[in-house]
Amino acid sequence: MGKLANCRWPWFKNALIKWFIQHYRVDMSIAEITDIAKYPHFNAFFTRTVLPSARPIVQGENTVACPVDGFVSQMGSIGEQQILQAKGFDYDLIKLLGGDEQRALPFHNGSFATLYLS
């Protein structure tokens, strides 16, 4: 999918973007760039910037802001050997962080959330 997502052939990437917009009902009125022809490839469209007014960032203590348009598909507590599940695969915390046990320590007894991009 990587080569297709980075394809710069206008006829292909524009058709792919148009299909995606229609299939997933993407609201392009909130995008900074609304003309699909101006995206060099699908990845640029997929990571498009939205207007600041479209996604005001929540303020205040004890609040959480989501970095993407999506929904929480899983959440839970992280133990020392917690296995996290994402995209149908299970991940051990230490392996997820490149096998570095010291790097994993701050996350022990923490929490996690898996976000499904919409």
- Summarised one tens digit per residue, pLDDT across range 85-104 is 777 777 788 888 889 989 98
Assess whether pLDDT exceeds 90 at residue 33.
yes
Q: How many Cα atoms within 13 Å fall on the side-chain side of residue 105? A: 4
Q: Bridge-partner residues for 99, per DSSP?
A: none
Its pTM stands at: 0.65
User: What pLDDT digit, counting tens, does each position of 53-80 carry?
Assistant: 998 888 889 888 877 878 888 888 887 6
Q: Do the beta carbons of residue 49 and residue 31 sit within 8 Å?
A: yes
Name the pLDDT band for 118 (thresholds 50, 70, 90). Answer: low
- Which residue from 50, 82, 80, 78 is spatially nearest to 66, judged by alpha carbons? 50
Record the tokens describing residue 58, joined without a space. 């929540």
Overall average pLDDT of the 11-19 stretch:
97
